[in-house]
Amino acid sequence: MSYRRRAGGGKRDTAEKPITDALKAVGAEFWLIGGGHGNPDLLVRWRGFYYAGEVKSRGGTETKNQGDFPIWRTPEQVLKEIGASR
């Protein structure tokens, strides 16, 4: 899957690759979803639990439809939220 283009011609966030690399390193499963209309960018499965979140670069802002999901800007944020780091 490409880290640069989304279905429909949109672009993937540049923060996504470091986050997915960190998830791979700990053995988490993940799916790049998104597609707008309030869907999260990333679905993560870690030790039988699922987590969904919006991936944003440092200066990225959330839209009104994205308020239901946490904003993940760094690999450390995601790993902490799923319990894969201390």
pTM of the model: 0.78
Residue 2's pLDDT is what?
A: 36
State the SS3 of the chain. CCCCECHHHCECCCCHHHHHHHHHHHCCEEEECCCCCCCCCEEEEECCEEEEEEECCCCCCCCHHHCCCCEECCHHHHHHHHCCCC
Domain 7-82 has CATH 3.40.50.2300: no
Residue 4's pLDDT is what?
A: 41
Cα separation, 52 vs 48, whole angstroms:
14
Average pLDDT over residues 11-28: 91
Residue 32's pLDDT is what?
A: 92
**Between residues 57 and 5, the one the model is more confident about:** 57
Kindly report, residue by residue over 28-84, the tens digit of the pLDDT. 999 998 766 778 899 999 999 999 999 988 877 666 666 688 999 999 999 999 999
